[in-house]
């Protein structure tokens, strides 16, 4: 029941943030021209792809902190976060400089109008690096409620700022400034909350050196596998197709990703919870099954709506700008449902420290990108490549999960389970 309560509250709160992100994309799609909107979504997708090293480290941090939290090692947690906060700052600065250095290549590849979009990308990368350690620490300590509130706050600022600025005719500049301000506020709030959690805890001088070696690189492969599926199609569509067609696909992708964003809170709860339970030897199978049931239910419901009413949805939400994308919406929702299930299963393997197959999962996602580069005759072709390879990914990862879980743990008495603080 503790898992269900955690999922319930962060699912409700987290989806406010997800809905805010959707409203941001919707508002920008209606207020910007198709060409500018296509550029915005390509840059946002590229920001997700370039932020893979940071997201990898975030997952790595959640994994380590939640394991320590399950063993009540607060001193080690505070030391770990302090060390990696300094490392992330350096990584973010170097990454931002590299993005500016390679700006001519990015501009040419994505057919951008100016360097403005790359400057935004660089600044967002820098701010994300400052935020990601703190969010990882909060997730690892099972501070789900604060994470949800923080996400809502940042998303609200992002939405309101961007809408006002675009309305005042700042166009792409206004669309970019909202996410930057929202991320900055989220960082400040997370820093304050962590200080409160560990205000009476002293740091040690060092952390175990084998942590990075054992955990980081498997997490890297897993995060790359997930991120490539989520971003590469929009980026390649911007490269291979006209501005109007890439804008249409961007609109379809934004709607389809509602499925993934809707289940994001489920993964946010499941991953640190299972990691903490695996660390202290308590049952962790039921949270997995509950997460899969929620993902399948949400994906099926949203997918059904998209299949039945694609024209109405696109016409209503995007003011009739992207109606040519109606034929793709149902197929893309199928892809996102399979992808979301795969994401849950992959995070489960990471949570129980089963790292060996992560390179294989990365190869499967990279294979999808290679196929898109070779075969891109239409938008439909890109989507069906994602569907096919995602299904293959599902077969592999579900087999691995079934081989490495103990279904008998379902029947462990709750009296025997060790309680976890924060749940």
CB of 157 closer than 8 Å to CB of 22:
no
Count of CB atoms situated within 10 Å of the CB of 343: 23
What pLDDT is attached to residue 411? 45
pLDDT at residue 418 in the model:
44
pLDDT for residue 10 is more than 70: no
Q: If pLDDT is split at 50, 70 and 90, which confidence band does 2 have?
A: low
pLDDT score recorded for residue 422: 41
- Confidence at residue 14, expressed as pLDDT on a 0 to 100 scale: 63
Q: What is the pLDDT of residue 78?
A: 85
Mean pLDDT lowest among 67-71, 300-304, 347-351, 404-408: 404-408
CA distances from 320 to 37, 148, 152, 169, 305 (A): 14, 33, 29, 21, 18
User: pLDDT at position 416, please?
Assistant: 44
Q: Is the pLDDT of residue 414 over 60?
A: no
Q: Where are the alpha helices (DSSP H) in 111-143?
A: 116-140
Instruction: Tell me if residue 36 falls in helix, strand or coil.
Output: helix
Q: Is the pLDDT of residue 227 over 70?
A: yes
CA distances from 62 to 57, 59, 143, 269, 270 (A): 9, 5, 11, 11, 11
Alpha carbon dihedral 318, 324, 327, 330, in 10-degree steps, equals -20
Q: Please, what is the angle between helix 326-351 and helix 285-308, to 10°?
A: 170
Least confident of 119-128, 132-141, 183-192, 402-411: 402-411
Cβ atoms of 175 and 166 within 8 Å: the answer is yes
Q: How far is CA 196 from the centre of its chain?
A: 26
Residue 239, pLDDT above cutoff 60: yes
Q: Are 266 and 291 in contact (CB under 8 A)?
A: yes
Residue 423 — pLDDT band, cuts 50, 70, 90? very low
Per the confidence metrics, is the pTM higher than 0.75?
A: no
Q: Is the pLDDT of residue 338 over 80?
A: yes
Mean pLDDT of the chain: 80
Question: Which of 273, 238, 1, 251 has the alpha carbon at shortest distance from 108?
Answer: 238
Cα–Cα distance measured from residue 23 to residue 8, given in angstroms and rounded to the nearest whole number: 22
**51-72 mean pLDDT:** 75
If we measure between CA atoms, which residue out of 75, 51, 206 comes closest to residue 131? 51
Task: Assign 205 a pLDDT band (cuts: 50, 70, 90).
Answer: low
Buried b (16+ CB within 10 A) or exposed e, 374-410: eebeebeebbbbbbebbeebbeebeebbeeebeeeee
* SS3 sequence of 64-116: HHHHHHHCCCHHHHHHHHHHHHHHHHHHHHHHHHHHHHCHHHHHHHHCCCCCH
pLDDT score, position 419 = 43
Q: Worst-scoring range by mean pLDDT, 154-158, 235-239, 388-392?
A: 235-239
- The DSSP secondary-structure symbol of 322 reads T
Instruction: State the virtual CA torsion across 339, 354, 420, 292 in degrees, nearest 10.
Output: 30
Mean of pLDDT values over 100-111 = 85
Going by pLDDT thresholds of 50, 70 and 90, the confidence category of residue 352 is confident
d(CA 204, CA 100): 37
Name the most confidently modeled range: 118-132, 154-168, 390-404.
Answer: 154-168
The residue ranking higher by pLDDT, 15 or 393, is 393
């Amino acid at each position: 029941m503790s898992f269900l309560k955690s999922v319930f509250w962060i699912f409700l709160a987290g989806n406010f943030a997800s809905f805010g992100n959707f409203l941001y994309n919707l508002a920008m799609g209606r207020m910007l021209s198709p060409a500018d909107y296509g550029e915005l979504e390509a840059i946002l997708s590229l920001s997700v792809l370039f932020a893979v090293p940071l997201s990898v480290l975030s997952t790595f941090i959640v994994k380590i902190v939640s394991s320590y939290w399950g063993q009540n090692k607060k001193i080690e947690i505070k030391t770990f976060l302090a060390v990696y906060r300094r490392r992330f700052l350096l990584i973010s600065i170097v990454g931002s400089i590299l993005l500016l250095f390679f700006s001519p290549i990015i501009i040419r590849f994505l057919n951008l109008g100016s360097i403005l979009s790359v400057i935004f990308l660089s600044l967002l990368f820098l701010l994300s690096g400052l935020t990601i350690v703190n969010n990882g620490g909060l997730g690892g300590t099972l501070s789900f409620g604060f994470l949800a509130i923080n996400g809502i706050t940042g998303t609200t600022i992002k939405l309101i700022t961007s809408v006002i600025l675009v309305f005042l005719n700042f166009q792409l500049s206004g669309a970019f400034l909202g996410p930057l301000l929202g991320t900055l506020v989220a960082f400040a709030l997370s820093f304050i909350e962590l200080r409160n959690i560990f205000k009476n805890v002293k740091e040690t001088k060092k952390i175990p050196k084998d942590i990075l070696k054992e955990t980081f690189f498997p997490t890297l492969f897993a995060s790359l596998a997930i991120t490539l599926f989520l971003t590469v199609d929009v980026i390649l569509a911007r490269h291979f197709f006209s501005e109007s067609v890439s804008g249409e696909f961007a609109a379809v992708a934004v709607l389809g990703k509602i499925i993934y964003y809707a289940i994001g809170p489920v993964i946010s709860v499941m991953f640190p919870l299972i990691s903490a339970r695996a660390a202290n030897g308590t049952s962790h199978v039921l949270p997995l099954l509950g997460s899969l049931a929620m993902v399948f239910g949400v994906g099926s419901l949203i997918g059904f709506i998209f299949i039945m009413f694609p024209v109405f949805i696109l016409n209503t939400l995007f003011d009739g700008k992207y109606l040519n994308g109606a034929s793709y919406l149902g197929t893309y929702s199928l892809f996102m449902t399979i992808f979301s299930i795969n994401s849950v299963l992959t995070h489960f393997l990471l949570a129980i420290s089963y790292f060996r197959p992560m390179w294989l999962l990365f190869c499967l996602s990279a294979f999808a990108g290679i196929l898109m580069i070779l075969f891109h005759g239409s938008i439909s072709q890109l989507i069906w490549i994602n569907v096919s390879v995602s299904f293959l990914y599902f077969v592999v990862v579900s087999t691995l999960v079934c081989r490495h879980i103990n279904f008998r743990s379902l029947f462990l008495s709750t009296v025997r389970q060790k309680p976890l603080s924060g749940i």
